[in-house]
Structure 1
Amino acid sequence: MTASTENRGQFGSKLGFILSAAGSAVGLGNIWKFPGKAYSCGGGAFLVIYILMVIFIGTTVMLGEFVLGRKTQKNAIGAIRELNSKFAWVGGLGVLTGFIILCYYCQVGGWTIKYIIGYITESSTIYADPMSYFLNNLLGADRFPVQGAIIFPLIFLFLTAFIISRGVAEGIEKMSKILMPLLFILLIGLMIRSCTLPGADAGVKYMLHFDPSTIDANAFLVALGQAFFSLSLGMGVMITYASYLSKDDNLITNTGIICFLDTCVALFAGFMIIPAVFATGIDPGIGGGFAFATLAGVFMSIPGGTIFGILFYFLLFFAAVTSSTSILEGTVAFLVEEKGMERKKTVVMVSIVLFIIGVIYTLSQAHMSIKGIWISREGITYPIFGDFMEYLTDRLLLPLGALATTVFAGWIWGTDNAIKEATTDGKYKFALAPLWAFLLKIVAPIAIIIIIFAGMFLGMSIS
């Protein structure tokens, strides 16, 4: 039996929604993936392409998700079902994708807590052999990773679950109003410190220099993938968040502000990391190994590096928890509204399942830490669980979910209905409505199909 939506939570203010949605969009990918991609794809030229991809593709898909949620005032599955019951699976795909991502996201979130404590209590041990510390002390390559798989991920998951159990206004909104300003303060402070290091000016110039010769098909694909994945699209999260808005909220301006804030975080992260690696001569990488191992060499090589490291992992923690709460909310909202379950009990039940799968993820990373999603032993090919989870979500489920949602909003429900909802029945002006409709129906689906093709068949890591 479907629960009534009369007593659903609502965001208490426009600022609360913007910070919460921006917090969902701002995740680990903005901070540990964007700088490495900007470095390898031309610096300033990549920044220009990335911003264009956010403007034309990111904002288009995000507004498409917002109108579905605000129109129906329901979770991702309930929203699609109300508009056309034959396509309820579109919302289900998003919820499933978010659930799988959260299984390993909470593990990585726990690692940020471990490193905050590690830099406070044993920075010399980390500096002595950063990669060994990451593999052995955190992942437990030579022992069962009690800290990396159980203790610290459990702490992180408890914090996430506690916030969600408090509801929308008292949990998500209050958390976002505290953590998002702190995230920006930390990020700007670290960026200024990085840009003032001896030799950092070369990195700043690289990030500001526009060299057309560096622009190629790969740069466009990487920028498109990064812009798309950094905005938390394709998981039904933005549908769910928008369902907590009133009809008085301007979805058009809110979309622009949220995408602007998310882009600022990515750019600030680039100007925080790239100047520092130019100053130290350490080549930037992408992903967990870069964030938890390679950067230790950067911190070790700069004055006040330990303080820099502590603040950086606080930054990662803030980015992780603002995203994890939004993803968990998507799953919880579905179970509460569609299955009539009690909110706090649902949070506990979902968290237990998330934690169990997450432990398996970390174990697979620790004991099967090689590239690719397959490993061959004695002629038999086995999947590597952790890498397979990331491959499945990043290259297949996320873009498929976004493609299905975009096609639904643009073609099944229709752009006329979408524009009517976006403007609150004409209350707000939307001069670019015809362009947005064209982007939603034609350009965005084509771009997402390209992402899927490049990731699945060309083997490109664009997310």
Structure 2
Amino acid sequence: MQPKHRGQWATNLGFILAAAGSAVGLGNIWKFPGKVGENGGAAFIIVYLAIVLILGYTVMLTELTVGRATQKNTVGAFRQLDRRFTWIGVLGVITGFFVLSYYSVVGGWVMKYIVTYLTGGDFGLSHEGYFNQFIAKIGEPVGWHLLFMAIVVLVVLKGVSGGIEKVGKVFMPALFLFLILIAIRSLTLDGAQEGIRFLLRPDFSSLGVKGFAAALGQAFFSLSLGMGVMCTYGSYLPKNENLSKSALIICGLDSLVALISAAAIIPAVFSTGADLGMGSGFAFISLPGIFEKMPAGYFFGLLFFIMLFFAALTSAISILEGTVAFISEEFRIKRATAAIASAAAMALAGIGYSLASGAVNLRAPWFDFVNGWHMISLATWMELLTDNLLMPLGGLAFCIFAGWMWGVKNAVAEVEQGGKFKFYLKTMFSVSLKYICPAAIVIILFFTVGLGIGLS
């Protein structure tokens, strides 16, 4: 039975939109189009969608199942099922801590650009110069980072149905609407036909092993897996919800955002002659330049960054909620205290990321088999630690535990609820959980950590 002190989703739609908001993040909107551009266009998309169906759906459903079966936060869930594996939940909380620490900094950058557009969109002579000068400052980027984190805290303080669910119901439909508007504008630009053909004609010769591994990594990381976030969200679900159907819808919405993002950006890139890229440089330097060359580019640039803000905020909310649920339930601390304290700690760590991104040359050691031990930027170190190491390790641990320790039978029983729900993908889920997903995640770790290839 659901404990009286815990939150619960008011509606299944609210849960779906909130969970989709958690999955849909900045990476869907600027990293996915770049990877499509680098790895054969339609060929990458086909492989990516197949991997989402098998890998993404399986890990997503596993996290939701563990959460609902126990009705506890991710640490409490593993303690209840088998306390020897409580460390898996702890790993998820630690991962979320580091992810939100730097994610909120980027969220602050997005807010800065929204204000820039609202005040006239004057980026000076160079978009690159504008961005580099901004992140090289000390006070302003930190200030935007703290403001973004404060907004996240305010939503989480309102609770599951009163804050998180309400934000998801408003922001996710708005995100889709804005993204579709930008895609329509991009697809109707002069010269966009080449970009459209690139998205529709698969070239598997351009994919290669690295491209396949990139699709594997993108599918995993874009769904916010490996942090226990979906486990926490699943714990707020009643027993009368169809977990398999919900997981499919969430994966489908996340993939749809990625596909529309590619349709919104790649034709515009072909039309304006810009270079496809990934990461902050592409989002904050190249894309504003692309919008500047488009008819009504000011309007669509503003829409794009508002959309980015929605994506960043809904993802950040889910990560903080996972930490707050852990602290408040495990240490019996008031929810408000847990939210403010954990957000303050994340904000403090985020200041280091903000400074390392431009103002100060902060560095940390990293190891891979190609380069051995070497020093890298603290900003890069935090991203590699979470995206390339801790998140896949968390996903791997979830799969091994659910597939081999807790057992596939127990996981399937939680999904089916005594035959109440027909689990049509039961065979695929069972095989994928025990064999395919662990093997795929080991491949991700080999490329990202062992060979030092960034795939996230």
Which of these residues, 443, 452, 460, is aligned with residue 436 of structure 2?
443
Structure 2: runs of 5 or more not aligned: 367-372
Counterpart of 1:154 in structure 2 is 146
Which region of structure 1 is more displaced relative to structure 2, 414-423 or 287-296? 287-296
Q: Output one character per residue of 1:219-249: Cα deviation in whole Å (capped at 9) or x when no partner.
A: 2101110000000000000000000000000
Which range is displaced more, 13-22 or 364-373?
364-373
Give the Cα separation in 2 of the matches to 1:425 and 1:92: 31
Q: Which amino acid aligns with 1:431?
A: Y
What is the CA distance between 1:145 and its match in structure 2?
2.7
Deviations 1:307-361 (A, max 9, x none): 1111100010000000000000000000011100101111111111111111111
Give the CA deviation at 1:371. 11
Separation in structure 1 between the aligned mates of residue 174 and residue 185 of structure 2, nearest angstrom = 16
Please say which of residues 205-214 and 390-399 is displaced more in the overlay: 205-214
Asked whether the equivalents of residues 127 and 297 of structure 1 are also in contact (C-alpha less than 8 Å), the reply is: no
* Equivalent residue runs for 1:12-161 within 5 Å: 12-124=10-122, 126=123, 128-136=125-133, 138-140=134-136, 144-150=137-143, 152-161=144-153
Aligned equivalent of 1:407: 400
Give me the whole-angstrom Cα distance separating, in 1, the residues matched to 2:349 and 2:424. 47
Q: Secondary structure of 2:205's partner?
A: helix
**Contact 1:373–1:391 (8 Å) recurs in 2:** no
Q: Is the 1:107–1:149 contact (alpha carbons within 8 Å) kept by the matching residues of 2?
A: yes
Q: For 1:207 and 1:369, how far apart are their aligned partners in 2?
A: 39
- 2: CA distance between counterparts of 1:367 and 1:208? 42
Q: CA deviation at 1:210?
A: 1.7
Q: How far apart, CA to CA, are the structure 1 residues paired with 2:414 and 2:99?
A: 30
1:195-239, Cα deviation, whole Å (9 max, x unpaired)? 111111110111111223223211210111000000000000000
CA distance in 1, matches of 2:41, 2:130: 31
Structure-1 separation of matches of 2:374 and 2:361: 15
Give the superposition deviation at 1:304. Answer: 1.3
Correspondence for 2:386 among 377, 390, 393: 393
Matched position secondary structure for 1:431: coil
**SS class of match (1:256):** helix
RMSD: 1.7
Residue equivalent to 2:370 = none
Alignment of 1:60-459 (within 5 A): 60-124=58-122, 126=123, 128-136=125-133, 138-140=134-136, 144-150=137-143, 152-367=144-359, 382-459=375-452
Contact 1:127 1:296 in 2 (8 A): no
Deviations 1:151-172 (A, max 9, x none): x112211110000001000010
Question: What amino acid is the match of 2:132?
Answer: L
2:52–2:219: 8 Å Cα contact kept in structure 1?
yes
Q: Structure 1 stretch 256-265 or stretch 348-357: which is displaced more?
A: 348-357
Shift of 1:122: 4.2
What's the CA shift string for 1:406-462, capped at 9, x where partnerless? 111111100000000011122111132122111000000000000001101112111
Aligned equivalent of 1:377? none
Q: In 2 relative to 1, CA 50–371 (structure 1 residues): closer, same or farther, beyond 3 Å?
A: farther
Q: Percent identity?
A: 47
SS of alignment partner, residue 198 of structure 1: coil
What TM-score comes out, normalization by structure 2 length? Answer: 0.96
Cα deviation, 1:119-157, whole Å, max 9, x if unaligned, reads 222423x15211111011x202xxx3322122x112211
Deviates more, 1:211-220 or 1:22-31: 211-220
Partner Cα distance (1:54, 1:444) in 2 = 11
- Check the 8 A contact 2:362/2:378 in 1, yes or no: no
Give the number of equivalent residue pairs.
Answer: 450
CA distance in 2, matches of 1:304, 1:432: 46
Call closer, same or farther: CA 1:367–1:198 in 2, change over 3 Å.
same
Q: Does the 8 Å CA contact 1:161/1:347 hold for their aligned counterparts? A: yes
TM-score by length of 1: 0.94
> In the aligned structure 2, how far is the partner of 1:388 from the partner of 1:21?
28
Q: State the one-letter code of the partner of 1:399.
A: P
